[in-house]
Amino acid sequence: MSNTATNKKELFGQPIGLYILFLTEMWERFSYYGMRALLVLYMTASTLGDDARGLGLGWTRKEALALYGWYTMLVYVASIPGGMIADKLLGQKKSVLLGAITLCIGHGVLIMTDIWAFYTGLGLVIVGVGLLKPNISSMVGGLYKEGDIRRDKGFSIFYIGINLGSLLATMVVGLVVAKWGWHAGFGLAGIVMVLGLINYIYGQKYLTHVGNFTPSTGDKNEISYGQLYSKLFKSPKQLIFVGVLIAFSVLGWYKLEWGFGLLFVFLTAITALLMMIYKELETQVFKDRFLVLLLSFIMVIIFWGAFEQAGGLMNLYTESNTDRNLFGWQVPTVMFQSLNAGFIILFATVIAGFWAKRKLKGKEASSLFKMALGIIIMGFGFLFMVFAAMEFEKSGSSSMIWLVLAYFFHTIGELCISPVALSFITKLAPVKYASLMMGVYFAATGLGNKVAGIIGESASDFGELTIFSGILIFTVVIGGLFILILKPLKRLTHGAEEKERDLKNEEAEGFELADN
């Protein structure tokens, strides 16, 4: 065992390393969400100097939303190369460091007003998040040994850090921009990222045992990504499948736009890699676990595809269709965006505690069940948006309470799926591809973001009532279907979650523990 005295230290029953990662991710999310909150506003602000916040880019709403959609997808899709770099080159810990430095530079560049700086800054943020986000999440998993019951709760605490960052950002950045202008807002994102970096560097002594790179052992079974791709050409079934996907990519390129074509080509390359990894995994247990992980990512795409209406369609709905008058005060639209983060902070440990208690009683719920339930609960939240849309159609405005209820259920759903999925990946992913799988997970959430944008846009054709009802029915049905096939899915995990127990007490009682 490589644990040193320092990294064995605990706080509130959790390793101190968790709080270091918590704070790093909190500042990183502050900078991400703070900058994201400004993005569309800055792009659409006028170039004529008539805005107190400074010169904007003067883009149309459509142009701005298009770039926003691609950007918010790419930051998460970049987690795939970010995970690969960690697995094969740097290890998770150094990848996070490099990501944090890249983010400081990226946000720093955005302080400049030139258009080249704008694109360069966004590019650097995409690279930085890609390196940091999946790998810091994997490092959280690395703090716990296999079977440690504290892991799920640890992820819930980590998730609070994420949302604390986002809550602070949405509260503070707007004020800074109003007083000192756009680029001060971007600068603030940069400054907090420097805080995140300092915290991470300072906390290294608590992280000596996690996220280290394990160099190639020279084992002949070890296989590089290049070798996997070359093996593809000797695997007829996989090759045919890839051929079909390439045909779709070409179609996407011509029928939609080149961006989609490029995205499909990238996804085809990743699908090919995943198929070959599956084929090469040594045992059926590894193969089954890998498969169930990929299947669970379908739930992830569906979840975020519905959930992410929050920043788009629901945001616009709040602005134009909702009566925001509270005892004579007009509640600003952006404040509704803080509800999600606020509810997370309030309820994350409650939900995690609820599951943990059930587990200790032997009535444990599997991660897959929680994820499916998360989709249903989140989907149920759309019922309130349906009520809101009905009220609007009848009386020309709808009550704020519907939004609060919808965001509440969305958040409870998110807590059932998002931290649970992070933890689940660290339990099931093959060690050699742990970071890659985390990257694929985040890419799935990014695709969900893109799906959300596409659905949201179609509201102008179909109307909000149809869209909200459609999402409600679709998500509840899909979640229900996953619950129906839970048994066979669970079988594929081969008991990865069944032996979780209180290792801390056992350790104290002298049990022999295997390192993770």
The residues that touch ligand GLN, with contacts defined as CB under 6 A, are 29, 76, 162, 304, 418, 442, 445
Cβ at position 4, least distance to ligand GLN in Å: 30
| φ, ψ for residue 12, nearest 5 deg | 50, 40
Contact in structure between 210 and 30 (CB atoms under 8 Å):
no
Dist CA 54 CA 73 (whole Å)? 28
Which CB atom, from 209 or from 410, has the smaller least distance to ligand GLN? 410
Cβ at position 350, least distance to ligand GLN in Å: 18
Cβ at position 172, least distance to ligand GLN in Å: 17
Which CB atom, from 27 or from 76, has the smaller least distance to ligand GLN? 76
Contact in structure between 16 and 206 (CB atoms under 8 Å):
yes
Which CB atom, from 426 or from 445, has the smaller least distance to ligand GLN? 445
Which CB atom, from 137 or from 322, has the smaller least distance to ligand GLN? 137
Dist CA 136 CA 157 (whole Å)? 14
Contact in structure between 151 and 12 (CB atoms under 8 Å):
no
Which CB atom, from 268 or from 418, has the smaller least distance to ligand GLN? 418
Cβ at position 509, least distance to ligand GLN in Å: 37
Residue showing the smallest CB distance to ligand GLN in the complex: 445
Contact in structure between 144 and 151 (CB atoms under 8 Å):
yes
Cβ at position 443, least distance to ligand GLN in Å: 10
Cβ at position 418, least distance to ligand GLN in Å: 6
| φ, ψ for residue 282, nearest 5 deg | -70, -40
CA of 201: how far to CAs of 20, 89, 134, 308, 481, in Å?
Answer: 9, 20, 18, 33, 45
Dist CA 365 CA 357 (whole Å)? 11
| φ, ψ for residue 452, nearest 5 deg | -60, -45
Cβ at position 442, least distance to ligand GLN in Å: 6
**What are 324's two structure tokens?**
């925001």
Contact in structure between 96 and 136 (CB atoms under 8 Å):
yes
Which CB atom, from 211 or from 439, has the smaller least distance to ligand GLN? 439
Which residues lie closer than 8 Å to 336 by C-beta, 6 or more apart? 314, 315, 318, 403, 407
Residue 14's SS3 state is strand
Cβ at position 159, least distance to ligand GLN in Å: 8
Which CB atom, from 7 or from 435, has the smaller least distance to ligand GLN? 435
Residue 19's SS3 state is helix
Dist CA 410 CA 340 (whole Å)? 8
Which residues lie closer than 8 Å to 195 by C-beta, 6 or more apart? 27
**What are 400's two structure tokens?**
């704020």
Dist CA 133 CA 164 (whole Å)? 16
Q: Name the residue with tokens 């609007």.
A: 392
Dist CA 464 CA 386 (whole Å)? 8
Dist CA 259 CA 418 (whole Å)? 28
Dist CA 275 CA 291 (whole Å)? 10
Euclidean distance between the first and the last CA atom of the chain, given in angstroms as a whole number: 10
Dist CA 150 CA 502 (whole Å)? 7
